[in-house]
Amino acid sequence: MIFVDYKTNNGELKITLKGRLDAVFVSKVWHETINKLASTKPSLLEIDASGVDYCNGAGAALLLQLKQKQENENRQFSIVGLRKDFEQLINIFDPGVVSENTKKSNSFSRFVKDAGRMCYRVLSDTKTEISFIGELISKLIVAFLKPSSLKLSDTFLIAEKSGANAVGITCLLGFLIGMILSFQSAIAMQQFGAQIYVADLIVISLFRELGPLITAIIFAARSGSAYAAEIGTMKVNEEIDALVTMGIDPIKYLAVPRMLAGIFMMPLLTMFNLLLGLIGCGFVMLSLGFSPVVYLNRIQEAATLGDLAGGLAKTLVFGLVIAGIGCFRGLQTATGASAVGDSATKAVVSSIIAIVVLDGVFAVVYYYVGI
Amino acid sequence: MRENSNTIIRVENLTAGYGDVAIIKDVNFEVKAGEIFVILGGSGCGKSTLMKHMIGLLPPVSGKVLIDGKDIVTAKGQDKIEILKGIGVMYQNGALFGSMNLIENICLVLEEYTDLPKDAMEFIARMRLKVVSLDGSEYKMPSEISGGMKKRAAIARAMALDPKILFLDEPSAGLDPITSSQLDDLIIELSRSLGITFVIVTHELPSIYKVADRVVMLDKNTKSIIATGKPDDLRDNSDNPWVRQFFNRES
């Protein structure tokens, strides 16, 4: 049963509460009582709680809130008839006055502070990124010069997880993309009676651009994020700290094997992707009525070894960069579960940006070199 | 401890385990309303497992766990939620949500189960934090506070819905003696002033002597309870040598 009653008398407000003072009660009367208090501004607020037969934290909150509002205005407050055990509850729970500035600061000064922090963060991030890339490359060179210092079993395990296990999805995507692209271009080429050149179009675009790009995006989404999440979780669990105190360099132990796996697996995966892309294209060509021999001849005539090699060379760099970014984001992880998710997201986003930018750089370089 | 002898939790013939391995066999005990009840035992004897069964996280192989007369094992849907609203749990490392500040951590259940206005919820959250002496850290993130503060914040969060029973998993593990003793004081005060029943899993002897009204002691070998009673009694008068060793910290 819920009962509230308000009586005003000579600038004094008397609120009578009856029933169970719990969350249900309080949620109904909270605004009402506080608005009433704000509108009447009584010199004395008296609460008659003799009819209250139960009071929990929510009830105590209501009484304390009213008390605080009154006392903030230097006005009188009293509770009568509250049972002893409930009165004790209120004494324990009194949270005191919360100073407003711990809560919120001025919105303009907050904006300036946030902007400053943001700039600082971007600059210091760039700095750590540059030094991290330097560190990675120097350690990678050391690993190449002294392969005995490397944990080969780890490297192979990582290569299996992010390379061999990714063959399926890479092949599937290659096949579908090859098929879809050749089908779409066949429709356009048909108008010129140039359907035989679909093979040229597909093989060049797959070898030079699409194959490496699609494989790189798969690798970033599948393995780059996994590296970031795994290393990030290790960071959260203080496992990275454990490595450091054992005198084991986390970059050498964690990042180098992953980057090696990336460098070696990306070209292999790309080759699978290209092969299946060509098979997919072959299906469409067959259905258009060309014989397999004609298709194969067309491919051989259209693409040079240089096209293939140029595409695969790119993937070496993509693999290195994706794995490096994954490890970097993982090692950057802050604390908490959400930080691991953030790292994985950041790893994928920065990898994809890096892939596209690098691809553009390669296009320009290849143009001038004449590949 | 309040003078009240009503049984609030009753564990009947509980057998629990993971897969084929039994951890606890055929355990029976009762917790009275308002008492501070401690589950203790050596490492790996199934203390935490027992607690996880008592709060309905794990299904037992057989047996019942009655909380206020209702079986948490078989309860489903709304009934289970009603039982869960009556209990609060503090996990070993706090299990605070890392992406929310302390106030939001506490407000989460209030938003879920009550229609309180936003400022009322915040006020209640601040009240809870005040009780565990965390006033001033309301808007901090869990990663910004120390281990002891996290445990206290977790207790505050467990109290959000005014539960009758609080389960604490290793409240003093990993804390310095002073912080640990402050936590013990807090438990005693909450028990006395609010009449909350505590079920505590721990093996910290000083804290057991200080807070426990009654203990049950689990044994790894027999997979059952080997002693029940007041800690002082068990230390001095138990007929089981292992129990005496445990309480006297001998090896």
Render the burial of A164-179: b for 16+ CB within 10 Å, e for the rest: eebeeebbebbbebbb
Cβ atoms of B211 and B180 within 8 Å: the answer is: no
pLDDT at A70 over 90: no
Closest partner residue to B124 among A57, A92, A103, by Cβ? A57
Amino acid found at A248: I
Report which of residues A14 and A269 the model is more confident about: A269
pLDDT at position A230 is 94
pLDDT at A355: 95
pLDDT for B3: 42
**What pLDDT shows up at residue A130?**
85
Which of A21, A25, A30, A33 is the best mutation test for B, with the most CBs of B within 10 A?
A30
Q: What is the CATH number of domain A2-97?
A: 3.30.750.24
User: Which residues lie across from A8 on neighbouring strands?
Assistant: A13
State how far residue B74 is from chain A, nearest Cα, in angstroms.
28
Question: Contact B131/A334, CB-based, under 8 Å?
Answer: no
How far apart (Å, rounded) are the C-alpha atoms in residues A322 and B139? Answer: 37
- For residue A81, what are its two tokens? 């008839």
* pLDDT for A97: 63
CB B225 within 8 A of CB B216: yes
B-chain CB neighbours of A31 within 8 Å are 117
Using the beta-carbon criterion (under 8 Å), do B131 and A93 form an inter-chain contact?
yes
- How much of chain A, in percent, has pLDDT values that exceed 70? 96
Residue listed under structure tokens 């965390």: B134
Q: What does DSSP say about strands B62-67 and B70-71: parallel, antiparallel, or unpaired?
A: antiparallel
How confident is residue A312, by pLDDT bands cut at 50, 70 and 90?
Answer: very high
Nearest chain B residue to A32, by CA: B117
User: pLDDT value at position A103?
Assistant: 53
Strand partners, B14: B27
Helix (H) or strand (E) holding B229: strand B225-229
Of A129-133, A296-300, A345-349, least confident by mean pLDDT is A129-133
Positive or negative torsion for Cα A233, A237, A238, A244: negative
Contact in structure between A200 and A298 (CB atoms under 8 Å): yes
Find chain A residues with C-beta within 8 A of B115's C-beta.
23-24, 27-28
Please check whether residue B99 touches A, CB under 8 A.
yes
User: What confidence tier does A23 reach under pLDDT thresholds 50, 70, 90?
Assistant: confident
Residue B20: how many other CB atoms lie within 10 Å:
5
**Which phi and psi (to 5°) does residue A211 adopt?**
-55, -60
Q: What is the chain B residue with the closest CA to A84?
A: B193
Query: How crowded is residue B13: how many other Cβ atoms within 10 Å of its Cβ?
Result: 12
Quick check: B58 and B49 in contact, CB under 8 A? yes
HSE-up of A209 (CA within 13 Å, CB side)?
11
Nearest to B98 among A30, A61, A337 (CB): A337
Rounded to 5°, angle at Cα A265 from A139 and A255: 30
Q: Which CATH architecture has domain B1-86+197-251?
A: 3-Layer(aba) Sandwich (3.40)
Tell me: pLDDT of B2 over 80. Answer: no
Task: Return the higher-pLDDT residue of A1 and A31.
Answer: A31
Nearest in space to B234 (alpha carbons), one of B247, B223, B225: B247
pLDDT score for A338 = 81
Instruction: Find the CB nearest B127 among A23, A64, A103.
Output: A64
State residue A218's pLDDT score.
96
Tell me the pLDDT tens digit for each residue of A106-123.
Answer: 778 888 989 999 999 889
Alpha helices in chain B (DSSP H): 47-54, 77-85, 102-113, 118-131, 147-158, 177-194, 205-211, 231-237, 241-248
pLDDT at A215 over 60: yes
User: How far, in Å, CA of B61 to CA of B73, rounded?
Assistant: 10
| The pLDDT of residue A244 | 86
The mean pLDDT of chain A is: 87
What is the pLDDT at residue A308? 93
CB atoms within 10 A of CB B5: 9
Give A225 or B207, the one with higher predicted confidence.
Answer: A225
pLDDT of residue B98: 79
Inter-residue contact B220 to B44 (CB < 8 Å): yes
Read off the pLDDT of residues B212-246 as tens digits, 9 standing for 90 and up: 889 888 888 788 888 888 888 888 887 888 888 88
Q: Residue for token digits 């790189």?
A: A216
Task: Provide the pLDDT for residue A223.
Answer: 95
- pLDDT band, residue B84 (cuts 50/70/90): confident
- What is the three-class DSSP state of A34? helix
CB-nearest to B193 from A30, A88, A334 is A88
Task: Collect all residues of chain B within an 8 Å Cβ-Cβ radius of residue A95.
Answer: 123, 126-127, 129-130, 135
DSSP character for A148?
G
3-class DSSP state of B238: coil
pLDDT recorded at residue A104: 56
Quick check: helix, strand or coil at residue A57? helix
A7: phi then psi, degrees, rounded to nearest 5: -130, 125
**Which position has the higher pLDDT, A294 or B52?**
A294
Return the pLDDT at B164: 86
Is the model's pLDDT at A314 over the cut of 90? yes
Residues A184 and A198: their CA atoms lie apart, in Å, by 9
3-state secondary structure labels for all residues of A243-298: HHHCCCCHHHHHHHHHHHHHHHHHHHHHHHHHHHHHHHHHHHHHHCCCCHHHHHHH
The pLDDT value recorded for residue B96 is 85
Nearby residues of A337 by Cβ (< 8 Å), 6 or more positions away: A236, B98, B99
CB distance A132 to A249 below 8 Å: no
Instruction: Please tell me the distance from the alpha carbon of residue A131 to that of residue B63, in angstroms, as a whole number.
Output: 60
Condensed to tens digits (0 to 9), the pLDDT of residues A178-202 reads 999 999 999 999 999 888 999 999 9
Q: What is the mean pLDDT of chain B?
A: 84
Measured between alpha carbons, how far is A147 from A182 in angstroms, rounded to an integer?
44
Residue A272 to residues A58, A100, A296, A352: CA-CA distances in angstroms?
64, 63, 17, 21
3-state secondary structure of A371: coil
Residue A100: what pLDDT? 47
How high is the pLDDT of residue B1?
38
pLDDT bucket at A87, cuts 50 / 70 / 90: confident
Q: What value does the mean pLDDT take over residues A206-212?
A: 94
What ipTM goes with this model?
Answer: 0.71
| Predicted local confidence at residue B53, as pLDDT | 86
Query: What pLDDT is stored for residue B47 in this prediction?
Result: 83
Q: Across residues A124-153, what is the average pLDDT?
A: 85
Q: Is the dihedral of CA A287, A198, A361, A304 positive or negative?
A: positive
pLDDT > 90 in chain B, percent:
3
**Domains of chain A, residue spans:** 2-97, 150-369
Average pLDDT over residues B165-193: 84
